[in-house]
Structure 1
Amino acid sequence: MKQYTVEEAIGQHFSMLYPEEGNRRDESMGHLRSAAIEGRYRGEGVRQRKNGDLFLADVSITAIYEEGVLTGFTKVVQDLTERNTLVQERDLSRSDSIQLRADAEYRERFVATLTHDLRSPLAAARTGADLIVEYPDQPEKVRSWASRISDALHRADKMIADLLDASRLHAGQGLALQCHECDLRPLAEQLREELAVRHGPRFHVEVDGDTTGYWSGDGLRRVLENLLSNAVKYGEKEQPITVRMRRVDDRMLLTVHNYGTIIPVEDQPKLFQPFHRTHLAEVSGQQGWGIGLALVKGIVEAHGGIVKAESYPKEGTKFTCDIPVDARSAKQKLKV
């Protein structure tokens, strides 16, 4: 299946069976960790043959324990190329009607979200404006009301921007970002200070190496805002939330880690879909649109990078953004 002889395979790390992108995300070791913790890992993914060809595979990895000690793993791989081709041919005739239904559902969610959630900031702005009109001779209060109006309109503007960007991503369009030289460390430190005011001193920033590069500062701020907001919403209260930045050659690894309820493996592939909320998010009582992680993925990919989620018992949940140090060379839609 993978074209290696027994002699060529014995003694080699099994990461050689993963494509370059998978190894950059450390998928091979992640799958072993899942198997070691849960007893077994099962999933579909892209693998690589000796000649460089890629194929879709069903992979099952089982941990082997002797007297409670992990001694190794067994791995079973099935080539899904033929099955995938048959499924695609079977589903081709259904694709148009399915897409129409999906587009209709998306439009409904878009309009419902826009009309419902915009009411709150607009109502706050209107109330402030009415108070200014009624009491124009109270300058201190007028300044306070004007500040509230500005904050409310800023929230409304951010909502609209997020929804429009989510719509572009749903349509398969890239995000247009301005790329310039910036430093991630002060950006992360500023967010840490802002969040500490509302949620206490539980946020930490760790740095390994140079943190400057050519990116969209506004875009990466939105990435960190969304990831940190999720960590606050769904992480364990009072436990630390950590932003780590580590430079590896010409890549920057930006991670946000928190402790708390893990994200089930079956939910992880859907995390970055627009308007998708996991069962954990739905039952948590936390409000959300389900577009924050979709925006994270869109912004990271617009930088020529990738984003992945890892969630394990005791280890917590970690989102890692892997982006080039100089995103000006990214093939995605960037205004430089």
Structure 2
Amino acid sequence: MRLAAEIIKQNSNRIMDDWERAVKLEIEASNISSLAVRNQLPNLLDDISEIMTRYDDFKGIHKHEEYREIMKNSLDHGRHRATSSHYTVKQILKEYVVFHRVLTEILIEHSVYTKEVGIILKYTLENAMLNSASSFSDSLQEMREKLVGTLAHDIRTPISTAYFALDILHHGDSEERFQNLKNMGMKSLEKSLELLEGLLDAISVQAGEGITLNFEEIDLVKELKWVYKEASQIFTNEIGFKCDSEKITGIFDGTAVRRVIENLVTNAVKYGSHSTPVTIMVEDKDDHVIIKVHNYGKPIARKNQSEIFKFLNRARSVQTGNLESWGMGLTLVKSVAQAHGGKVGLESDEEHGTTFSISLGKKSNSPGKIRAELNYSEN
């Protein structure tokens, strides 16, 4: 048993290379980066080797600390695959089947494969398979629920705005006021219908997928000014708007961008100081646009800043403070930014306050619909 463990340690790089090569050939959905494909399996390999080093037979393995670590790694593996496009439970199980096959072939090649070694591999990998498959299914269901919940929550804002516009509308109002309130109500109801379409779409989301985006050539400033005006009417905080261009034309999903900025403004009001302004800032660059939302108040701890945009961050850290209360919204912010060929950023400290930023490529997409991805990576 110890000799088998030593062979695994000595050939760990070869095992992972052979496994990755086979997975990419046999599993269509594994067409992602090498680092992402490997994920938690190198840790699983180390744990199997450690168990074989400590035990000469099967007895007592289920009580071993390293065995529990294998379970954790397999749970993380399943959650990771839920954020990788087009994966299925069948493909996750196939990964472990290939892993088992590669391990067995190398151990046989070095004449160290015995009945006891086979039992250890079978027991650990079968349980890892069950945990990964269960974690994958649970994570996918959680993702659907969070997407639906976020979209349903977002629908409340435009409906409330439309109700507000109708409620304060009176027969004696001037023509200008009548038209302004009418336009506010109509625009809000149009947005509600767009969000409702997204809500229905989210129910059918698959692994690694986010909302469907509809790209078209628009003036982004017009969309952002609408968010600013609506926020100014809804919130008690002073809302500021700064833009260095009167018009910014590009291929964007206007509805998605509005939702992103509404989400950031709402968070700024909710988690920031209630007595200081929330400011939307827009910078027009050559091939992209940078949008920032700034507020003062309690900063986000530096140790949490890299976690806050991640999907299902509860699996990454139990002690995340109030990160979970930010919900799915910031994951969608990142998803929308990346779908536009951009990225997200966060700066937060006591002195300067908190600034969330997103960059959007002006011509990163062609007009039409695409399904955004929920990216698990650090970038």
SS in 1 for 2:365: helix
Structure-2 separation of matches of 1:207 and 1:154? 23
Q: CA deviation at 1:266?
A: 2.3
> Which structure has more RCO (C-alpha within 8 Å, separation ≥ 6)?
2
Is the CA contact (8 Å cut-off) linking 2:191 and 2:255 kept in structure 1? no
Structure-1 separation of matches of 2:370 and 2:147? 27
Q: Which amino acid aligns with 2:322?
A: L
Corresponding position of 1:220: 257
2:146 matches 1:190: no
Structure-2 separation of matches of 1:297 and 1:112? 15
Corresponding position of 1:296: 333
Q: TM-score with structure 2 length normalisation?
A: 0.47
Q: 1:163 to 1:276 in 2, by over 3 A?
A: farther
Larger radius of gyration: 2
Q: 1:250 to 1:112 in 2, by over 3 A?
A: closer
Q: 1:259 to 1:166 in 2, by over 3 A?
A: farther
Q: CA deviation at 1:106?
A: 5.0
Q: Which amino acid aligns with 2:255?
A: D
Structure-1 separation of matches of 2:321 and 2:133? 24
SS in 1 for 2:137: helix
Deviations 1:145-178 (A, max 9, x none): xxx9xx999879847835854973x721254322
SS in 2 for 1:266: helix
2:321 matches 1:279: yes
Residues matched between the structures, number = 223
Q: 1:216 to 1:152 in 2, by over 3 A?
A: closer
Aligned counterpart for 1:173 among listed residues 209, 217, 241: 209
Structure with more helix by fraction: 2
Aligned counterpart for 1:253 among listed residues 259, 282, 290: 290
Deviations 1:228-273 (A, max 9, x none): 1111111111211111111222121111111111111222222223
Aligned counterpart for 1:208 among listed residues 235, 244, 247: 244
Deviations 1:266-292 (A, max 9, x none): 22222223465852356xxxxx67111
Q: CA deviation at 1:306?
A: 1.0
Corresponding position of 2:342: 305
Is the CA contact (8 Å cut-off) linking 2:293 and 2:355 kept in structure 1? yes
Deviations 1:1-34 (A, max 9, x none): xxxxxxxxxxxxxxxxxxxxxxxxxxxxxxxxxx
Deviations 1:83-136 (A, max 9, x none): x99437545764762452253255268559969x979x99xx9xxxxxxxxxxx
Unpaired runs of 5+ residues, structure 2, are 1-33, 47-72, 75-124, 160-170, 172-184, 315-319, 373-379
- Match runs of 1:110-189 below 5 Å: 158=195, 161=198, 165=202, 168=205, 171-173=207-209, 175-189=211-225
Is the CA contact (8 Å cut-off) linking 1:114 and 1:160 kept in structure 2? no
Is the CA contact (8 Å cut-off) linking 1:245 and 1:252 kept in structure 2? yes
Structure with more strand by fraction: 1
Q: Which amino acid aligns with 2:228?
A: R
Is the CA contact (8 Å cut-off) linking 2:146 and 2:327 kept in structure 1? no
Is the CA contact (8 Å cut-off) linking 1:166 and 1:295 kept in structure 2? no
Structure-2 separation of matches of 1:153 and 1:212? 22
SS in 2 for 1:222: helix
Structure-1 separation of matches of 2:239 and 2:254? 20
2:43 matches 1:87: yes
Q: Which amino acid aligns with 2:362?
A: V
Is the CA contact (8 Å cut-off) linking 2:289 and 2:359 kept in structure 1? yes
Q: Which amino acid aligns with 2:356?
A: F
Q: CA deviation at 1:197?
A: 1.5
Q: Which amino acid aligns with 1:186?
A: K
SS in 1 for 2:250: strand
Is the CA contact (8 Å cut-off) linking 1:276 and 1:290 kept in structure 2? no
- Match runs of 1:32-71 below 5 Å: none
2:135 matches 1:101: yes
Q: Which amino acid aligns with 1:295?
A: L
Structure-2 separation of matches of 1:238 and 1:197? 16
Aligned counterpart for 2:270 among listed residues 220, 233, 238: 233
2:357 matches 1:323: no
Q: TM-score with structure 1 length normalisation?
A: 0.53
SS in 1 for 2:141: helix
Structure-1 separation of matches of 2:340 and 2:327? 22
Q: Which amino acid aligns with 1:185?
A: V
Structure-1 separation of matches of 2:223 and 2:146? 33
Structure-1 separation of matches of 2:145 and 2:218? 36
Q: Which amino acid aligns with 1:279?
A: G
